[in-house]
Amino acid sequence: MITCRLYKEGVLKEEAFDPSRVSDLIEEPGARVWVDIADPSTDELAMIQEEFSLHPLAMEDTRNRNQRPKLEVFEGYFFLVLHALSLDEKDELRDGEVHAFAGHRFLITLRYPPVFDIGEVVKRCDRRTDLTQHGGGFLLYAVIDEVVDGYFAVIERFEDQGEEIEDRVFADQPDPDVQEDIFRLKRRVVTFRRLVIPLREVLDLVQEQPGFVTAELGPYYRDVADHVIRTLEFVDSIRDLLTSALEAQLSQVSNRLNVVMKQLTGWAAIILIPTLIAGIYGMNFKNMPELPWRYGYAYALGLMFVSMLLLYRAFKKRDWL
């Protein structure tokens, strides 16, 4: 799906026009064009290349997936890769790679797969159409900011999961799956970090492109860069805590083993002592005074019961049972 928008002097002039008209429209003074394509086909890419006279090398770049966030400078524009990240219903990380060609007068965004909601970006631009005069600089900011906002949702979900895991680690009932969940979460966090960390540097590079980030846009870019840093600081905290959680979990498991062993010891004693008593009165000595007693049997049972009770209390007191 193609989204086309033309701004002129801070006003939305046209939208949803045919992209093949771009080469004409962009020549008009003050024209600012944004073209967004979700999952672009080869034809669409070819058309884009022609309309914006993009360098073949630049096009080659956009044909490769799984790139790390980076910025590649071409004459008059640059190529930028970033990753829109979200969690699906199974909490697996969903990676929507965004490729952008950004020049002073235009922005092209290509999304594979189209994970993040371009509608939000459109709304944002329409709210501040005056800033569209700054051209690609503002449009790109709107996109990046939307992407980075998505990071916070992921981070929050990570934090929630982290807290839930903590509760399970320290719950009274042992939960044998918790270490797997810690590990799986850690893996998602590590992947997230790997896809976000180069963005910091990319944003510095964007701000260094001469004439692209105007003085008025500066605070916006610094703000989004600040958000990226904050995201990464959160990720590092979570990673650090997950490592500790794994260790605490191990300690917890060992603790529980202690409890089990104490119970084993306790119950073994409670059963074995009366077994010994029964064994004693099962001996075949001729002369065992208790045997002919009228209540000898009751006495023996009583002895067993009392010994069990005393042991039970003793272990209970030492908190072994």
Residue 68 in contact with a copy of itself, rule: CB under 8 A:
yes
CA 230 to chain centre: 14
Handedness of CA 257, 260, 265, 268 (dihedral sign): negative
Q: Which of 164, 251, 309, 310 binds a copy of itself (CB under 8 A)?
A: 251
Q: How many residues bind a copy of itself (CB under 8 A)?
A: 90
Q: Beta-carbon neighbour count of residue 7 at 10 Å?
A: 25
Out of 115, 122, 252, 315, point to the residue binding a copy of itself (CB under 8 A).
Answer: 252
Binders of a copy of itself in range 134-163 (CB under 8 A): none
Closer to a copy of itself by CB, 38 or 246: give it. 246
The C-alpha R_g of the chain, in whole angstroms, comes to 35
**Piece of 29-37, 99-107, 129-137, 181-189 that binds a copy of itself (CB under 8 A):** 181-189
Considering only 304, 312, 314, 321, the residue that binds a copy of itself (CB under 8 A) is 304
Q: Which residues between 259 and 288 bind a copy of itself (CB under 8 A)?
A: 259-265, 267-269, 271-276, 278-288
Instruction: Verify binding: residue 295, a copy of itself, rule CB under 8 A.
Output: yes
Half-sphere exposure of 218 (CA within 13 A, CB side): 6
The 189-228 contact track toward a copy of itself, x by CB under 8 A, reads -xx--x--xx--------------------x--xx--x--
Q: Least Å distance between CB 20 and a copy of itself?
A: 28
Of the pair 45, 248, the CB lying nearest a copy of itself is at: 248
Total Cβ atoms within 10 A of residue 252: 18
Question: Do 21 and 54 meet the contact criterion of CB atoms below 8 Å apart?
Answer: no
Strand order of the β-sheet with 93-103 is 11-15, 2-8, 31-38, 106-112, 93-103, 77-87, 70-74
Q: Is 248 in the site for a copy of itself (CB under 8 A)?
A: yes
User: Least distance to a copy of itself from the beta carbon of 184, Å?
Assistant: 8
Burial 67-86 (b: 16+ CB within 10 A, else e): bebebeeeeebbbbbbbbbb
**30-51 burial, b for 16+ CB within 10 Å, e for fewer?**
ebbbbbbbbebeeebbebbbeb
Q: Rule CB under 8 A: is residue 258 a binding residue for a copy of itself? A: yes
Only one of the segments 17-25, 37-45, 134-142, 178-186 lies at the binding site for a copy of itself (rule: CB under 8 A); that segment is 178-186
Other beta carbons less than 10 A from residue 257's beta carbon: 11
Choose between 15 and 180: whose C-beta lies nearer to a copy of itself. Answer: 180
Task: Specify the residue, 41 or 173, whose C-beta has the smaller distance to a copy of itself.
Answer: 173
Contact between 16 and 89 (Cβ < 8 Å): no
Q: Does 240 bind a copy of itself (CB under 8 A)?
A: yes
Residue 176 interacts with a copy of itself (CB under 8 A): yes or no: yes
Among 27, 210, 289, 317, binds a copy of itself (CB under 8 A): 289
Contact 17, 6 (CB under 8 A): yes
The residues in 115-134 that bind a copy of itself, with binding defined as CB under 8 A, are none
Tell me whether residue 31 or residue 141 sits nearer to a copy of itself (CB atom).
141
Nearest partner of 274 among 312, 306, 321, 317, judged by Cα: 306
**Is 27 or 172 the residue whose CB approaches a copy of itself more closely?**
172
Residues 6 or more apart whose Cβ sits within 8 Å of residue 19: 2, 4, 35, 44, 47, 48, 51
Q: How far is the CB of 17 from a copy of itself (least distance, A)?
A: 32
